Amino acid sequence: MIRIEIPGYDTLEFAYLVMDYNGTLAIDGHLISGVAERLKQLARQLEIHVITADTFGLAADNLRDLPVKLKIISASEQGRQKSQCIQKLGEEQTVAIGNGRNDRFMLMEARLGIATLQKEGASTEATQAANVVVNSILDALDLLLNPLRLKATLRD
């Protein structure tokens, strides 16, 4: 569990981390350097879920040795499927990270939504649905590993 008290905002308590794969954890299907190490650290505090349509077919291989639960979803209605995952886990205990238009609902429904820009860019819908927008997945994961950064961003 991660607990962050943010003055003028709220006290956040997270048990789950839900992320997209392509464009978020990976570029062109390949895991971004530095992600694996951070996921291993975060898995000590959070249950990590990766939900993806796996466009490049590499997610299972790239995540095999990492402490994550992978869910491959169908290519249709991805936004709805990702949203259902957040609802099942519990919105109030979940932080979501994504960049695509199909991530907008999970970013909006999670207690904390973080949009990443990176090489693939981010849809305007995803950035508008998020509470925080960062340059990279490494920055997003580091916000959770170093909660004072998140506190500084969200406080009133």
Query: Which domains occur in the chain, in start order?
Result: 2-154 (3.40.50.1000)
* Residue 23 φ then ψ, to 5°: 90, -15
- 77 neighbors 48 (Cβ within 8 angstroms): no
pLDDT value of residue 59: 94
* Best CA proximity match to 42, nearest among 58, 10, 18, 11: 18
Beta strands in 1-154 (DSSP E): 2-6, 10-14, 16-19, 26-27, 30-31, 47-52, 68-72, 94-98, 112-116, 132-134
pLDDT along the chain (156 residues), means of 10: 88 95 92 97 97 90 96 84 90 94 93 92 93 96 92 86
Average pLDDT of the chain, as a whole number: 92
Instruction: Give the tokens for residue 23.
Output: 């464009």
pLDDT value of residue 79: 79
pLDDT value of residue 54: 87
Give the global pTM: 0.93
